[in-house]
Amino acid sequence: MTAIELVDLTKRYGETTANDAVTFDVGSGEIFGYLGPNGAGKTTTIRLLLGLIKPTSGTATVLGADIRDRRALTEAKANIGYLPDDLGFEERLTGRQVLDHFARMRGDERRAELLDLFHPPLEKPIENYSHGNRRMLGIVQAFMHDPDLVIMDEPTSGLDPLKQDRMYAFLEGERDAGTTIFFSSHILSEVQRVCDRVGIIREGKLVALEEIDDLLGRGGKDVRVQLAEPVDEETFRTPEMIDVETVDTTVRFTYTGEPAALLEHLVGYEIDDVDIGDPQLDDIFKHYYGDEPVEAG
């Protein structure tokens, strides 16, 4: 089943095309990472999906509701959680008052359980909250009515590593219980860690849409070779090696060819150690943000 479907979704602000015919689906029960640098168009997509702004053209559905159908969207939103980029809570209200407000609108059957997990302060005004505590309150708010779909704009920004870990573990648990999670990020390692699939957006255009494993697989292998003695990099390298770096007797590179060919090549050298691993998504990401235009994959 499809939780979110975008078809040629387009939003223009004057000369700027913030979303340019963006088309993709998010399946029920997956964690989908929406990745792109600042200004790529992530927040615009999220605001379109929630009906907070209107598309210039194209459309989308969330939980089956057309975003242009105000009534259907309002009904669907009873089953959607939203963690905005800027929480926009009334600063003089306490955390408890904010949660009470959302509880009256949508329910709060999971409030106690979520407070136990994320424990934001509840009795002081929001204006005195740290950035991390604002996020924690926002997460409780987004999940407390037990929604089927949760849309989050950069959910871990400003969280310390411990809180990030708690958040990732929580998201995986929610996904395993059947909740669909869509979140935007410009932090590659976080997407790599928790997402099942990723869409990459650049300058308003979707440039890649892939299973995370496929994306990593297409990036070749990250190889480190420790040679017994220094070699001339130019004679050692083959056309399948990219981003080659040599320090003393250690050569590091990304290998884009067949593994057997690499092993055959290495047999010709006296080698102390070899390490072959999966590349970091960051390295793959660089290819999408190079100068060359990239077609959607």
Ligand X SMILES: Nc1ncnc2c1ncn2[C@@H]1O[C@H](COP(=O)(O)OP(=O)(O)OP(=O)(O)O)[C@@H](O)[C@H]1O
Please say which residue, 186 or 224, places its beta carbon nearer to ligand X.
186
Please say which residue, 236 or 288, places its beta carbon nearer to ligand X.
288
**Least Å from the CB of residue 34 to ligand X:** 9
Please say which residue, 44 or 254, places its beta carbon nearer to ligand X.
44
If phi > 0 it is left, if psi is from -120 to 50 it is alpha, else beta; for residue 203 that is left
**Least Å from the CB of residue 75 to ligand X:** 26
**Least Å from the CB of residue 259 to ligand X:** 37
Please say which residue, 19 or 141, places its beta carbon nearer to ligand X.
19
**Least Å from the CB of residue 63 to ligand X:** 22
The DSSP result for the chain, as a single string, is: -EEEEEEEEEEEETTEEEEEEEEEEEETT-EEEEE--TTSSHHHHHHHHTTSS--SEEEEEETTEETT-HHHHHHHHTTEEEE-SS----TTSBHHHHHHHHHHHH--TTHHHHHHHH----SSBGGG--HHHHHHHHHHHHHTT--SEEEEESTTTT--HHHHHHHHHHHHHHHHTT-EEEEEES-HHHHHHH-SEEEEEETTEEEEEEEHHHHHHHT-EEEEEEESS---HHHH--TTEEEEEEETTEEEEEE-S-HHHHHHHHTTS-EEEEEEEPPPHHHHHHHHTSSS-----
**Least Å from the CB of residue 39 to ligand X:** 4
**Least Å from the CB of residue 154 to ligand X:** 7
Please say which residue, 40 or 262, places its beta carbon nearer to ligand X.
40
Binding-site ranges for ligand X (CB under 6 A): 13, 16, 18, 36, 38-44, 85, 186
**Least Å from the CB of residue 9 to ligand X:** 12
